Amino acid sequence: MKLPSRTEFLDRSSYRQRRFRDAARWLPIFAGVLMLLPLMWPRETPDQSQTSNGIVYLFGLWVILVVLAFVLSRVLRLSESLDGNDAPNGWGGE
Amino acid sequence: MGQRVLLIEDEPNIIEAISYILTKDGWTVHTHSDGETAMSKVMQRVPDLIILDVMLPGKSGYDILRELRAQAETKDVPVMMLTARGQSKDREMATSLGATQFMTKPFSNAEVLKSVRALAGL
Amino acid sequence: MISFNLLIVVSLMYVVFLFLVAFAAERRAAQGKTSWVRSSVIYTLSLSIYCTAWTFYGAVGYAARSGLEFVTIYLGPTLVMIGWWWLVRKLVRIGRTQRLTSIADLISSRYGKSPVLGVMVTVLAIVGTTPYIALQLQSVTQSIAVFAASSDEMWLPGDLNRAAMWVAVGLAVFTVLFGTRNLDAHERHHGIVLAIAVEAVVKLCALLAVGIFVVWGIAGGVGATLELIDASAQSQWSPSPSRWIGLIFVSGAAFVCLPRMFQVLVVENSDEQSLSTASWAFPTYLMLMSLFVVPIAVVGLDLMPESANPDLFVVTVPISEGRQGLAILAFLGGFSSATSMVIVATLSLATMVSNHIIVPSWLNARTPGAVVSGDVRQVVIMSRRVSISVILALGYVYFRVSGGGTALASIGLVSFIGVVQVFPAMIGGVFWRGANRWGAGAGLIVGFSVWLWTNFLPSFGIDAVISQAVFLGGPFGIGWLRPEALFGISGTDPFVHALFWSIFLNTSAFIFVSILTFPNPLERLQGAQFVNVFDYSSGARTWLQSAAQAEDLLVMSQRILGGAEALSIFATEARSQGKTGFQPDVTPDFIGRLERELSGSVGAATAHAMIGQLTEGTIVSVDDLIAVADETAQIMEYSSRLEAKSAEANSTARALREANEKLTALSIQKDAFLSQISHELRTPMTSIRAFSDILRDEDVENVARKRFAGIIHEQSNRLTRLLDDLLDLGVLESGQVQLNIGQDILADVLDRAVIASGVNTGKLAIARRAGNETVNVHTDLDRLAQVFINLISNAAKYCANDVPKLRIIVRQFAGQTIIDFCDNGAGIPSESQSMIFEKFSRLEDEGKAGGAGLGLAICRQIMGALGGDITYLPGQGGAAFRVTLPAAQVLVLQ
């Protein structure tokens, strides 16, 4: 059931909140792509595919993701009252 | 003269007054004071003119009027409606149901006489 | 050498400590102090049951065999948690609004509270989890055996089995003790949650300690460790793309589908803020758990003899280096990983078995009245305790039957693919309103079958369950059904093969059947509730006005929720309906709310079935559904409009609308009143005018003139009376009447009334009993007399008997004085009795009597003002009125 009307223009703080939510939705997609990235690494010579490089890359990525998730969890406000109709399946649009 | 008027009205004083005026003017006045049995009274012998009160015990004057207009014998009989509720919607109601004349209580005797004569085509 | 006895003592102390922690948490929760258990930290730590002994010991083994691939098992859940805004947040919200108790409950509840789906998911979960429990038992016994061997204790296979059995019994006792203490309406277990949080800390510390020791104590720093890695057998990292993607997917999906994970992630969650914290804290935990896995594996490979089991490097490396304390800590870490997983997995499975299999069967076996008479609460708790024991016994039997060999090592992934078969139905249920129970059922059956055939049964090895011939030629020689080469596509990695085909065919069946079949109304309703959970603030109304009695529902609720909680729910509901006591009206809203409360204890399908028995199976129809949908749409439209306006403008509008409604109602009343007044005034006026016209215009003989003048006189009196009555009524109705309180004997008041009504000159006979009338009345005597006069005159006017007679009977009753006026006339027809006290409610023919129909209306107003009453008494053989005077104004003469 779609809501009959949506707020078209939001004040700055609500606008910012919506973009944070978009970020929360994008983050796992971004993370997923980066997790698959090593599959495309060149592996012609032994020194191109060392496990130690993999460890550095994966754990580095992990730390970055944790930091981003941490930042998002601090700025995201959970109450939906802010802009009322957050679209659970879509991108909050204005 | 000697035309027959049927007065259907439940207030005895008003019956007496109208009967008195019309009789003096040379009409033959029959009276009836119950709504429920009014139609059978009319059908016994169809009068030349009917004076009909709206608020009657048993059945309202509007219902009687509707039946009168539905019957072949009585659909052309002139009917003068009397009402004590002088609102315009009562007049509209009476006209739409086919009342020939509409009169609000209280009325002047002269008025009644004039109307009755006019309705009888005199 | 390590003292084996020391290990046993430390382990037992650790177990006692865990019992104390759980016990203390329950104690504090019982005192209402639950906030600290519900904290984000505890929540995050409780999620760590994802890391079982398979992680603690197995990850190192995995890394020793396949290098970095092990990390995918932790990358999947990391993706799910940092993507919590998509799925986990929604699951948690749904779990809270629908009071879900398990993953089976989620599926059953979403698909029209279907009992069959609940059973299917439960069976799937048991089959998928039992080997996993066996794996935990195996890891504990193997690590014990390591210590035994190192301390020169000779352990025979029988000793291992006995150890496994005692561990299983201990875990059963713990789970029964803290998992089924009470039937919590939210299915939350503070003692268990805190205990596993403590275990989470222990296992992380243990693994970090071993890792730090390995990197800095043995390898000699980070750089040296990396060099060691590059020099090891696992120096090359060339991930297989299909395995890499498949493993990330399956671990992420299993993270939300595993019964134990659903338990801690959704059921035990108490607020979304915790989830927000866990979104970064849990990935951190996983990263730390994985950080030293490769170094430990590499150092272990380097240090330990060729024959050493890499799965046990975490304990064997410290032992071989002579670090007794560290080894014991590592052992406790592994022990923690195993026990916490087993406890929660067993508890969640037991809940599912009890809610979806045992209790529904028990209910079906009973007659409908059983819901009320039987002790459901006791049955539920007992069935959980039995289920816990049975599931642990199953795990133990599996451990014994499988022989604790290498077959178990691969069971982790096998188990994951099994439980992930629920994933399509879950995702579809949460994001796709078109998903229905036929589709979900078809997907589950197809996925489960394919998994059994391609993954579970082959995991026992060739010729164990499936013969070599079938592996090579397919069942009955059907080549394209070969378990590791479905449709003739061979050469795929067995894991990828099983995962791809089971999930692909599962999802296809789910989507295809969902599209081709129709959901029932309850499913559509639940579908909307789940998919749009953030738009609905309250639960759906799924019950119609029903035949259920509040009392029956209360009795049933008490059996499940316990007396105090059930009574408080009912009392709250009654209060919100503006009633007192414990029996609210059984409205659809209330039944819906009650069902959700009950489903928190026994699951949605069972709660629905139980209420269904009491409400005589009233279920929603499509029409009701549409009505509910329309109503919801209207409410939502209305509320969104409200938001657009300012609150002030809105309240003004409401006030105006109310005022307008009031005015409209008043206007209609006024019109009717004026019309009546007009009639009542014009009728006498007509007579007056007609006769005065006659007298003026005509020559009238004397007798007639006198008579006409008499009529005019009488009619003008009638007009005056009418005006008096109208004014009187106006004053009385406005409530501004001045009461002139006096005191007299009732007999005197009646005497005056009889005289004033003037009936003693007429033919109405009045019968009174002087003896009963010696009552002292303290009231407005004139007003009371006015009522009496009215009643006596009415009798005189309307009593249509040749010998009219009025009896006035005075009686005392319960402090009140009752005065009955009964005549012997025709009485008032029953259809008119209700309206005689209304204004202008004159009955037929009364016009002759000259009343305007206001008398009884005035009487009623007067009696109201005097604090008494006047009513019509039917069945007295004539018209009869009863005047009641209140006790306060009556004093019986001494």
Instruction: List, in order of start, the domains of chain B with CATH numbers.
Output: 4-119 (3.40.50.2300)
Q: Is the pLDDT of residue C232 over 90?
A: no
On whether both C626 and C638 belong to a single domain, the answer is yes
Instruction: For residue C813, give the 3-state DSSP assignment.
Output: strand
In terms of average pLDDT, the best of A63-72, C166-175, C844-853 is A63-72
∠ CA(C234), CA(C236), CA(C240), 5° rounding?
Answer: 100
> How far apart are alpha carbons C704 and C722 in whole angstroms?
27
On whether both C723 and C785 belong to a single domain, the answer is no
- Of all residues in chain B, the one with the smallest CA distance to C671 is B87
pLDDT of res. C774: 84
| Range in C49-53, C166-170, C874-878 the model is least confident about | C874-878
Specify the CATH number for the domain of residue C702. Answer: 1.10.287.130
Nearest residue to C117 via CA among C435, C348, C350, C414: C435
Please spell the DSSP secondary structure of C680-745, one letter per residue: HHHHHHHHHHHHHHHHHHS---HHHHHHHHHHHHHHHHHHHHHHHHHHHHHHHHHT-----EEEEE
> How far apart are alpha carbons C538 and C529 in whole angstroms?
9
Subunit contact A62:C287, Cβ cutoff 8 A = yes
Answer for the pair C857, C729: CB distance below 8 angstroms, yes or no.
yes
On whether both C800 and C667 belong to a single domain, the answer is no
Subunit contact C678:B86, Cβ cutoff 8 A = yes
pLDDT of res. C560: 67
Reported as a pLDDT band with limits 50, 70 and 90, residue C811 is confident
> How far apart are alpha carbons C154 and C74 in whole angstroms?
37
pLDDT of res. A1: 40
DSSP code at position C236: B
Q: What share of chain B is helix, strand, coil (3-state, %, to 5)?
A: 40, 20, 40
On whether both C118 and C191 belong to a single domain, the answer is yes
Name which of C674, C676, C687 to mutate to probe chain B: the one with the most chain B Cβ atoms within 10 A of its Cβ.
Answer: C687
Reported as a pLDDT band with limits 50, 70 and 90, residue C532 is confident
C-alpha distance from A14 to closest chain C C-alpha (Å): 15
CB atoms under 10 Å from CB of C165, counted, come to 17
- Which residue among C677, C707, C733 closes a domain? C733
pLDDT of res. C441: 93
Domain parsing of chain A, residue ranges: 14-39+51-78
Closest in C686, C845, C848 to B105, CB measured? C686
- What is the rounded end-to-end Cα distance, in angstroms, of chain A? 19
> How far apart are alpha carbons C633 and C115 in whole angstroms?
30
Which position has the higher pLDDT, C699 or C579? Answer: C699
pLDDT of res. C284: 94
Answer for the pair C341, C53: CB distance below 8 angstroms, yes or no.
yes
What token pair was written down for C119? 């059973």
Q: Which residues are CB-contacts of C44 (< 8 A; sequence separation ≥ 6)?
A: C274, C277, C278, C281, C282, C285
pLDDT tens column, C606-623: 677 666 656 654 444 444
pLDDT tens column, C373-398: 556 677 778 888 888 889 888 888 88
On whether both C721 and C790 belong to a single domain, the answer is no
pLDDT of res. C406: 58
C847 in reach of chain B (CB within 8 A): yes
What is the rounded average pLDDT of the residues C327-334? 89
Chain C residues close to A85, C-beta within 8 Å: 535, 640
Answer for the pair C509, C433: CB distance below 8 angstroms, yes or no.
no
Alpha-helical runs (H) found in C517-646: 521-531, 550-561, 563-576, 588-602, 604-614, 622-644
Closest in C687, C845, C848 to B17, CB measured? C687
Subunit contact B86:C682, Cβ cutoff 8 A = yes
pLDDT of res. C504: 94
Domain contains C528: no
Domain contains C177: yes
- The range of the structural domain enclosing residue C728 comes to 647-733
pLDDT of res. C632: 54
DSSP code at position C55: I
Closest in C236, C280, C633 to A51, CB measured? C236
> How far apart are alpha carbons C783 and C885 in whole angstroms?
12
Reported as a pLDDT band with limits 50, 70 and 90, residue C525 is confident
A60 in reach of chain C (CB within 8 A): no
pLDDT of res. B2: 67
Amino acid making up residue C773 = E
User: What sign does the dihedral C768-C773-C774-C779 (CA atoms) show?
Assistant: negative
- Of all residues in chain C, the one with the smallest CA distance to A44 is C238
Chain C residues close to B86, C-beta within 8 Å: 678, 682
Domain contains C466: no
pLDDT tens column, C95-152: 887 778 889 889 988 888 888 899 999 999 998 888 888 888 888 888 888 877 776 6
What token pair was written down for C536? 């609905």
Which position has the higher pLDDT, B88 or C863? Answer: C863
Q: Tell me, what's the ipTM?
A: 0.89
Reported as a pLDDT band with limits 50, 70 and 90, residue C639 is low
User: If you count residue pairs, one on B and one on C, with CB atoms under 8 Å apart, how many are there?
Assistant: 67
A32 in reach of chain C (CB within 8 A): yes
Cis peptide before B106 (omega within 30 of 0): yes
Q: Which residues are CB-contacts of C854 (< 8 A; sequence separation ≥ 6)?
A: C722, C725, C726, C729, C839, C840
> How far apart are alpha carbons A80 and C731 in whole angstroms?
56
| Count of structural domains, chain C | 4
C715 in reach of chain B (CB within 8 A): yes
Subunit contact C230:A4, Cβ cutoff 8 A = no
Subunit contact B106:C844, Cβ cutoff 8 A = no
Chain A residues close to C299, C-beta within 8 Å: none
Specify the CATH number for the domain of residue C845. Answer: 3.30.565.10
On whether both C140 and C187 belong to a single domain, the answer is yes
Radius of gyration of chain B (CA): 13
pLDDT tens column, C469-520: 777 777 777 777 777 777 777 777 888 888 999 999 999 999 999 999 888 7
Residues of chain B with pLDDT under 70: 1-2, 86, 122
Instruction: For residue B62, give the 3-state DSSP assignment.
Output: helix
Answer for the pair B71, B52: CB distance below 8 angstroms, yes or no.
no
What is the rounded average pLDDT of the residues C448-459? 86
What token pair was written down for C365? 């076996």
Q: Is C32 left (phi over 0), alpha (psi -120 to 50) or beta?
A: left
What token pair was written down for C882? 């009863």
Chain B residues close to C687, C-beta within 8 Å: 11, 13-14, 17
Domain contains C330: yes
Instruction: For residue B6, give the 3-state DSSP assignment.
Output: strand
Chain C residues close to B51, C-beta within 8 Å: none
> How far apart are alpha carbons C837 and C245 in whole angstroms?
85
Name which of C668, C670, C683, C694 to mutate to probe chain B: the one with the most chain B Cβ atoms within 10 A of its Cβ.
Answer: C683
Alpha-helical runs (H) found in A7-92: 12-36, 51-75
- Which residue among C733, C758, C793 closes a domain? C733
Subunit contact C686:B107, Cβ cutoff 8 A = yes
> How far apart are alpha carbons C316 and C145 in whole angstroms?
11
Nearest residue to C599 via CA among C383, C351, C416: C351
C216 in reach of chain A (CB within 8 A): no
> How far apart are alpha carbons C383 and A31 in whole angstroms?
44
Q: Which residues are CB-contacts of C228 (< 8 A; sequence separation ≥ 6)?
A: C219, C295, C298, C299, C302
Percent of chain C exceeding pLDDT 90 equals 11
Q: Tokens 């709250």 label which residue?
A: C572
Instruction: For residue C877, give the 3-state DSSP assignment.
Output: coil
Subunit contact C844:B57, Cβ cutoff 8 A = yes
pLDDT tens column, C36-61: 656 888 888 889 888 888 888 888 88
Subunit contact B110:C715, Cβ cutoff 8 A = no
A33 in reach of chain C (CB within 8 A): no
- Of all residues in chain C, the one with the smallest CA distance to A68 is C280
β-bridge partners, C767: C807
| Average per-residue pLDDT for chain C | 79
pLDDT of res. C33: 67
Note if the pTM is more than 0.90. no
Q: Is the pLDDT of residue C543 over 50?
A: no
Subunit contact C82:A68, Cβ cutoff 8 A = yes
pLDDT of res. C852: 55
A75 in reach of chain C (CB within 8 A): no
C-alpha distance from C113 to closest chain A C-alpha (Å): 21
Q: Is the pLDDT of residue C685 over 70?
A: yes
- Of all residues in chain C, the one with the smallest CA distance to B87 is C675
> How far apart are alpha carbons C629 and C656 in whole angstroms?
29
pLDDT tens column, C693-704: 888 887 888 888
| Range in A19-33, C339-353, C639-653 the model is least confident about | C639-653
| Range in B62-66, C183-187, C764-768 the model is least confident about | C183-187
Subunit contact C237:A73, Cβ cutoff 8 A = no
Amino acid making up residue C401 = V
Q: Is the pLDDT of residue C24 over 80?
A: yes
Subunit contact B17:C694, Cβ cutoff 8 A = yes
pLDDT of res. C2: 52
DSSP code at position C534: T
Q: Which helix (H) or strand (E) holds C30?
A: helix C4-30
pLDDT of res. C256: 92
Long-range contacts of C628-632 (CB under 8 A, 24+ apart): C628/C525, C628/C540, C628/C541, C629/A1, C629/C528, C632/A1, C632/C536
Answer for the pair C870, C790: CB distance below 8 angstroms, yes or no.
no
What is the rounded average pLDDT of the residues C835-841? 73
Please spell the DSSP secondary structure of C410-476, one letter per residue: THHHHHHHHHGGGHHHHHHHHH-TT--HHHHHHHHHHHHHHHIIIIITGGG-BTTTB-HHHHHH-GG
| Range in C406-420, C525-539, C811-825 the model is least confident about | C525-539
What token pair was written down for C303? 């240090």
Nearest residue to C425 via CA among C125, C108, C113, C128: C108
Chain C residues close to A53, C-beta within 8 Å: 237
Percent of chain C exceeding pLDDT 70 equals 82
Reported as a pLDDT band with limits 50, 70 and 90, residue C892 is very low
C370 in reach of chain A (CB within 8 A): no
> How far apart are alpha carbons C556 and C566 in whole angstroms?
9
Q: Is the pLDDT of residue C290 over 60?
A: yes
Chain C residues close to A63, C-beta within 8 Å: 287
- Which residue among C644, C677, C704 closes a domain? C644
Instruction: For residue C820, give the 3-state DSSP assignment.
Output: strand
pLDDT of res. B84: 79
What is the rounded average pLDDT of the residues C358-371? 66
> How far apart are alpha carbons C106 and C351 in whole angstroms?
13
